[in-house]
Amino acid sequence: MPGTFSPALFVLGAVLRELSIFIDESGSDGLDAPYYILALVLHEQGNSLDSEIALYERSLRERGLPDIPVHTTPLLYRKKAYEGMDEETRKRLLSSFRVFFRHLPIRHACLTLDTKGFTTPDDVTVGMRRALVEFMFDNMVYLQGFDNIKVYYDDGQRSIARAIHEAADYALSRNAVIFRKASPADYRLGQAADYICTVELAALRYRDKQTTSTDEKFFGSRAQFKKGILKEVRAKRM
């Protein structure tokens, strides 16, 4: 089942604490977007996701919706797997995932860079590495409480992949970090990271008064967005 994890490991009677960090980004090394956003979803593997996933999948079945990996931006703009879906179906899919996200036992962080200050992908690597190191140092006591930390990223953007590896090598014990290449399509929590990126990018558009008609169709007015989806997402922030 996508997104499920094995039980905590036992070594000589002691429970090993494991943390998974799923990462997704909004932006590209082409620097053609005004912001580069990195979302980190943190899940303590001792907290089972089985019941939340089962309820989500049951909700999809009962509502007659397809159980496909949620990729939020294509969903909003009717791209890729959502090409043949009408607006109402896509809204219902987003609504089901929104409820699922609300009940997940996770915490997350969102790092945002303004690309106006960058000219090359190397600049992105430096900027995001700095932001990641600051996040890790700010939460060092928490992170050091785990025996193993598994980082999942699909290596979609080379600058981000470099930043993640360099920041982890610098700020954390190399023995405690395991990097795993993973597509958001393979993991529910990877899809949650994708969802956070989309919501936080929409928050920037609402703030900058650059919303699209699609934003307003799926998220509502600025007040509705802030009191609804954005409030729910940020309630899980570290």
The answer for residues whose C-beta is within 8 angstroms of residue 12's C-beta and 6 or more apart is: none
pLDDT tens across 144-192, in order?
999 999 999 998 889 999 999 999 999 987 778 989 888 877 899 999 9
Q: What is the pLDDT of residues 132-156, one digit of tens each?
A: 999 999 999 999 999 999 999 998 8
**85 Cβ neighbours under 8 A, 6+ residues apart:** 78, 93
Q: What is the pTM of this model?
A: 0.91
Distance separating alpha carbons of residues 103 and 94, to the nearest angstrom: 15
Helices (H), 16-86: 50-62, 72-77
Q: Report whether 187 contacts 69 (CB < 8 A).
A: no
**Tens digit of each residue's pLDDT (9 = 90 or more) over 202-224:** 999 999 999 999 999 999 999 99
Answer positive or negative: Cα dihedral of 221, 85, 184, 122: negative
Give the number of residues written for the chain: 238
Model pLDDT, residue 22: 96
Q: How confident is the model at residue 100 (pLDDT cuts 50, 70, 90)?
A: very high
Of 34-43, 58-67, 154-163, 225-234, where does mean pLDDT reach its minimum? Answer: 154-163
H-only helix segments in 4-110: 50-62, 72-77, 87-103
- HSE of 159 in the Cβ direction (CA atoms, 13 Å)? 23
The encoded tokens of residue 126 equal 């430096």
Identify the pLDDT of residue 107: 98
To the nearest whole number, what is the mean pLDDT of the chain? 92
